[in-house]
């Protein structure tokens, strides 16, 4: 709460207290190191899984493969970041380059403030329209023979003759197996089946700005806890984590602060939307997604809790789940992600 990365309202803290305490417990250095190794194993394969789908889905124009930058406003902050770059390179093979103020200014001429320079993270891919990417994948799924139904997942229940049933707009569907993949809504549904999953729900906001200057690559501004990204609708300002009530804050204070900070870096132009968008990042206390079989219900499977990186991880955890369901050898060790750990 001391910086703009994370804010909370005291009134909503009781809702977050137990998951947060477990989050803190898992943040102890040795536990965090083990978690990072499990996370690294799957995140390292995430872009490959997208790579297999992107051309098939005709989504190449949506994807940039040139990384993103983190701006550091002072020499001390840049030096600290350089030490993290060295650590991540030696422990996890993450590729990044520390660039000075002049190189940053040349790469992003729109910036009127370049601080001490930046870290250019070279490996990440970024997307100009995440919703369009997901729609392209959904179209690919139907072209490959899949069928999409709309319905209320809360109607999911064990079927009389075995398996599961769920109500859809087009009627009832019976299936041998069901996957609960409802992001932040998953624990609520699973409670009805007797499972209690603690979850840290981190709300984030974004808003687009247009009519000002443009950036070539997304730019993180860690001093003010937000990201500026060139998107199809304009420059998007995205905030960090708000530990709020179910509906979020009425006045997204992090977004207000981020907008002021961003206006100090470049000409942002005017807001595109009258109201900002907000969504919830479904974070598990041990920071790993929940992927695998429900411990006490044959045929019930889970795939949720992807936290800050659900778009990135979707194809990888989808493949992992499919391999577990088909009884195949999983392409990464599935044990760290097992629902049975809760």
Ligand X SMILES: Cc1cc2nc3c(=O)[nH]c(=O)nc-3n(C[C@H](O)[C@H](O)[C@H](O)COP(=O)(O)OP(=O)(O)OC[C@H]3O[C@@H](n4cnc5c(N)ncnc54)[C@H](O)[C@@H]3O)c2cc1C
- Give the footprint of ligand X on this chain (CB under 6 A): 152-154, 181-185, 204, 206, 238, 279-282, 304, 306-312
CB of 189 to ligand X, least distance (A): 7
Q: E-assigned strands of the chain? A: 6-8, 63-64, 68-72, 96-100, 117-121, 126-127, 157-158, 164-168, 171-175, 178-180, 200-211, 219-221, 226-231, 234-239, 241-243, 269-271, 277-283, 290-293, 300-304
CB of 151 to ligand X, least distance (A): 7
* Residue 86 or 273 with smaller CB distance to ligand X: 273
Tally: H helices and E strands in the chain: 8, 19
Residue 6, burial from CB neighbour count under 10 angstroms (0-12, 13-18, 19+): middle
CB of 153 to ligand X, least distance (A): 3
CB of 239 to ligand X, least distance (A): 7
Residue 59: partners with Cβ closer than 8 Å, 6 or more residues away: 53, 132, 133, 136, 137
Helix pair angle (29-53, 310-325), 10° resolution: 80
DSSP strand pairing (200-211 vs 277-283)? antiparallel
DSSP letter string, 192-229? TTT-----EEEEEEEEEEEES---SS-EEEGGGTEEEE
Instruction: Indicate left, alpha or beta for 44 from its phi (over 0: left) and psi (-120 to 50: alpha).
Output: alpha
CB of 253 to ligand X, least distance (A): 15
Strand order in the sheet with 171-175: 157-158, 164-168, 171-175
* Residue 215 or 280 with smaller CB distance to ligand X: 280
* Residue 117 or 225 with smaller CB distance to ligand X: 225
CB of 187 to ligand X, least distance (A): 11
* Residue 117 or 195 with smaller CB distance to ligand X: 195
CB of 185 to ligand X, least distance (A): 4
* Residue 253 or 311 with smaller CB distance to ligand X: 311
Q: What is the dihedral of CA 264, 268, 270, 272, to 10 degrees?
A: -130
* Residue 192 or 296 with smaller CB distance to ligand X: 192
* Residue 103 or 129 with smaller CB distance to ligand X: 129
* Residue 115 or 187 with smaller CB distance to ligand X: 187
Tokens of 185: 């809504």
CB of 147 to ligand X, least distance (A): 16
Residue 265: partners with Cβ closer than 8 Å, 6 or more residues away: 71, 111, 112, 113, 219, 221, 228
């Amino acid at each position: 709460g001391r910086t703009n990365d994370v804010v909370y309202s005291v009134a909503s803290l009781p809702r977050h207290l137990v998951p947060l305490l477990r989050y803190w417990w898992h943040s102890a250095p040795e536990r965090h190191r083990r978690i990072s190794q499990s996370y690294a194993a799957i995140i390292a394969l995430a872009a490959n899984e997208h790579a297999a789908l992107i051309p098939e889905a005709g989504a190449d124009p949506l994807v940039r493969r040139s990384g993103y930058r983190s701006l550091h406003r002072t020499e001390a902050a840049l030096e600290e970041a350089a030490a993290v770059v060295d650590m991540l390179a030696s422990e996890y093979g993450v590729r990044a380059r520390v660039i000075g103020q002049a190189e940053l200014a040349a790469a992003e001429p729109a910036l009127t403030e370049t601080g001490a320079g930046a870290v250019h993270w070279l490996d990440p891919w970024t997307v100009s329209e995440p919703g369009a990417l997901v729609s392209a994948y959904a179209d690919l799924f139907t072209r490959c023979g899949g069928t999409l139904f709309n319905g209320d997942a809360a109607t999911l229940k064990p079927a009389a003759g075995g398996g599961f049933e769920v109500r859809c707009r087009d009627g009832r569907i019976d299936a041998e197996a069901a996957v609960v993949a409802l992001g932040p809504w998953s624990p609520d549904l699973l409670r009805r089946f007797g499972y209690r999953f603690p979850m840290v729900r981190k709300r984030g906001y974004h808003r687009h700005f247009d009519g000002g200057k443009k950036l070539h690559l997304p730019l993180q501004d860690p001093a003010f806890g937000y990201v500026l990204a060139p998107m199809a609708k304009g420059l998007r300002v995205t905030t960090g984590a708000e530990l709020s009530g179910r509906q979020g804050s009425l006045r997204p204070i992090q977004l207000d602060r981020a907008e002021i900070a961003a206006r100090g870096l470049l000409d942002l132009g005017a807001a595109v939307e009258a109201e900002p968008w907000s969504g919830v990042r479904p974070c598990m206390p041990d920071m790993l997604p929940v992927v695998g079989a429900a411990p006490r219900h044959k045929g019930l499977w889970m795939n949720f809790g992807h936290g800050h990186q659900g778009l990135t991880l979707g194809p990888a955890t989808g493949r992992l789940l499919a391999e577990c369901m088909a009884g195949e050898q999983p392409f990464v060790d599935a044990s760290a992600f097992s629902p049975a750990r809760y």
